[in-house]
Amino acid sequence: MNMFRDGLFAGKRILVTGGGTGLGEVMAEAYAKLGAAVYICGRRASVVEETAKRISAETGSQVKGVACDIRGPEAVDEMISQIWSDGGALTGLVNNAAANFISPTKDLSPRGFNAISDIVFRGTFYVTLACGKRWIECGTRASVISILTTWIWNGGPYTVPSAMSKAGLNIMTKSLAVEWAPHGIRLNAIAPGPFPTKGAWERLNPDVAARGDSGAVNPMGRVGQMPELANLAIFLMADGCDYLTGQTVAIDGGLHLATGGNFASLAKLGDSEWERIRAAIRSANEKDKSQRGA
Ligand code: HXC
Ligand code: NAP
């Protein structure tokens, strides 16, 4: 459903991290359709470049793909500096890049924990900081949206590094909403329920039967639809809600209120099932890794 007027984001400049795929791609396209100049980043150069080319051709807006691993603070600062030089200050940031996989916590190595928290917790902070300090310096008003999950409220069994990291970002959102409000910088967050994407399903639902159909247990009887997510991301980004800051909005059809919305039901899996799930996740990881640069 088209809820917003054409040209709503004319003159806006928005970075969507992880915008080459999944929900990030959906939001990048939604902003470009409304006239924003959009930047997307990810580790796989070919993926961000192809997505940028497609969205740009379909919307007529400027969309650029930048290869950047947000785990590196220097690489992040360099990317943000290049974007600023490429046409001026950003006016919006969507912290969407993330990594996750289901695993019993007892089976995680410190490297496994860091693989997720270095991206979600630290990487997101580096991007927010690199933008925020420039906004404050140049006096630009801006809007930040971070993509979280509903388990920030009730915990994420079998996704503990993600749950801990996203909960940290929830507090970053509230803290900086206050600290940066005098500078006209708003920070809000979205906590989506299940919106089927290749990246998430390969790592969280490699065996749909293990968790049951996440659509069927939803009070609305279905998973989320991409335009629903896009509409919320447009609303929170837009100038019309200038007084709205420090909020995290769930968009999950009521799932977390009804069932907890997390992976608690995986307690029933045995070692051999986890072995199979681990193998499926690792094979998805290897495929994606082969598309990254050195
Ligand atoms: C246990 C695992 C594992 C698994 C990897 N590891 N997979 N441990 N179970 N299934 C461990 C490895 O053994 C290794 O530790 C460490 O993690 C690092 O592995 P690498 O493959 O070298 O990591 P890296 O290349 O950095 O890749 C990061 C990644 C990968 C997190 C492992 O999944 C990734 O790049 N993901 C990006 C895309 C993504 O995750 N999208 C989904 C977002 S969905 P050792 O000690 O063995 O060396 C989401 C929430 C959705 O966030 C909510 C739905 C409701
Ligand atoms: P996805 O398609 O796998 O998106 C993750 C994106 O992040 C990828 O484009 C990936 O690109 C990028 N990324 C990962 N590590 C990065 C790094 N170090 N530096 C830069 N970019 C990196 O999965 P998705 O489902 O769309 O998830 C998007 C967001 O929604 C995430 O924050 C996720 O936690 C959240 N979410 C999703 C759901 C859902 O149901 N889908 C539910 C709740 C929350 P590269 O691999 O090329 O780097």
pLDDT value of position 208: 57
Cα–Cα nearest to 246, from 288, 187, 180, 170: 187
Confidence of residue 292 (pLDDT cuts 50, 70, 90): confident
What spacing in Å lies between the alpha carbon of 198 and ligand 2's midpoint? 10
Does residue 8 fall inside a structural domain? no
Show the ligand 2 pocket: residues with CB < 6 angstroms: 17-18, 20-24, 41-44, 47, 68-71, 96-100, 119, 123, 147, 149, 192, 194-195, 197, 199-200, 288
- 202 exposed, middle or buried (CB, 10 Å; 0-12, 13-18, 19+)? middle
Ligand number nearest CA of 69 is 2
Beta-carbon-side half-sphere exposure of residue 83 (alpha carbons within 13 Å): 33
Q: 60 pLDDT exceeds 70? A: yes
The residues facing 237 across adjacent strands are: none
* Ligand 1 neighbour 282 (Cβ under 6 A): yes
CATH of the domain at 103: 3.40.50.720
Confidence of residue 1 (pLDDT cuts 50, 70, 90): low
Instruction: Please check whether residue 4 is in contact with residue 16, taking contact to mean a CB–CB distance below 8 angstroms.
Output: no
What strands, in cross-sheet order, belong to the sheet with 142-147?
63-67, 37-42, 13-17, 92-95, 142-147, 185-192, 248-251
pLDDT value of position 215: 85
Neighbours of 272 (CB within 10 A): 8
- Lowest-pLDDT range of 2-6, 54-58, 76-80, 285-289: 285-289
What spacing in Å lies between the alpha carbon of 1 and ligand 1's midpoint? 35
Ligand number nearest CA of 158 is 1
Does residue 6 fall inside a structural domain? no
Count of structural domains, the chain: 1
Beta-carbon-side half-sphere exposure of residue 127 (alpha carbons within 13 Å): 32
Ligand number nearest CA of 224 is 2
pLDDT value of position 293: 72
Atom of ligand 2 nearest to the CA of 162: 34
- % of the chain at pLDDT higher than 70: 96
Does residue 67 fall inside a structural domain? yes
Atom of ligand 2 nearest to the CA of 47: 47
Segments forming the whole domain that contains residue 219: 13-291
- 56 exposed, middle or buried (CB, 10 Å; 0-12, 13-18, 19+)? middle
What spacing in Å lies between the alpha carbon of 19 and ligand 2's midpoint? 8
Does residue 156 fall inside a structural domain? yes
User: Average model confidence (pLDDT) for the chain?
Assistant: 95
Identify which of 197, 229, 289 to mutate to test ligand 2's pocket (most ligand atoms within 8 A of the CB): 197
pLDDT 10s digits, 15-50: 999 999 999 999 999 999 999 999 999 999 999 999
- Lowest-pLDDT range of 23-27, 29-33, 154-158, 283-287: 283-287
DSSP H/E element including 65: strand 63-67
| Cα-to-chain-centroid distance, residue 41 | 11
Helix spans in the chain (H): 22-33, 45-59, 73-85, 110-117, 124-138, 151-154, 160-179, 198-204, 208-211, 226-237, 255-259, 271-289
Does residue 4 fall inside a structural domain? no
pLDDT value of position 64: 98
pLDDT 10s digits, 91-147: 999 999 999 999 999 999 999 999 999 999 999 999 999 999 999 999 999 999 999
Does residue 113 fall inside a structural domain? yes
Nearest CA to ligand 2 atom 9: 18
The larger pLDDT score, comparing residue 208 to residue 284, is at 284
Does residue 106 fall inside a structural domain? yes
